[in-house]
């Protein structure tokens, strides 16, 4: 069963993180890297990525003629995806356990856990 673990935060949260002392950021990154290595060793790792900051985010809509219209203005309260992990696990509880581990080393931030809609995609 494939799950995606989504870590989101607001613009203010991203700025606060960037203000952490460098050694704290390094320690945080090292623990996340260790989790990725554990998941790779257990065969549960599919992918992980961090995204660039909210400043560079754009929202695109197609116009009537199909041309892109970009809009970079978001409400202050909007949550942005900061990064994600895709895992392939035996059950939902295992996905929650991994999310809990990530949360524990990331200020107990909430991690959204979503299953891939594999059946719908194939129908």
CB 83 within 8 A of CB 50: yes
If the CB atoms of residues 41 and 65 are measured against other proteins, the closer one turns out to be 65
- Cβ 19 to other proteins, closest distance in Å? 12
Beta carbon nearer to other proteins, 12 or 55: 55
Token pair belonging to 99: 């999310």
Of 66-105, which residues contact other proteins (CB under 8 A)?
A: 66-71, 79-81, 92, 96-97, 99-101, 103-104
| Cα distance between the two ends of the chain | 17
Q: How would you classify the pairing of strands 68-71 and 80-88?
A: unpaired
- By CB under 8 A, residue 62 contacts other proteins: yes
| Nearest residue to 80 (alpha-carbon basis) of 122, 107, 112 | 112
- What H or E segment, with its residue span, contains residue 93? helix 92-104
Q: What residues make contact with other proteins under the rule CB under 8 A?
A: 2, 4-6, 22, 25-26, 29, 47, 49-52, 56-64, 66-71, 79-81, 92, 96-97, 99-101, 103-104, 108-117, 120-121
């Amino acid at each position: 069963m494939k799950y995606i673990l989504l870590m989101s935060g607001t613009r203010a949260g991203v700025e606060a993180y960037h203000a952490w002392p460098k050694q704290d950021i390094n320690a945080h990154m090292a623990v996340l890297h260790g989790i990725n290595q554990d998941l790779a060793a257990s065969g549960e790792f599919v992918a992980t990525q961090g995204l660039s900051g909210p400043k560079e985010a754009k929202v695109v809509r197609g116009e009537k003629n199909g041309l892109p219209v970009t809009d970079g203005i978001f409400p202050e309260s909007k949550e942005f995806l900061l990064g994600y992990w895709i895992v392939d696990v035996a059950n939902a509880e295992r996905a929650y356990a991994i999310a809990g581990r990530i949360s524990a080393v990331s200020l107990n931030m909430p991690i959204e856990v979503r299953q891939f809609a594999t059946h719908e995609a194939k129908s």
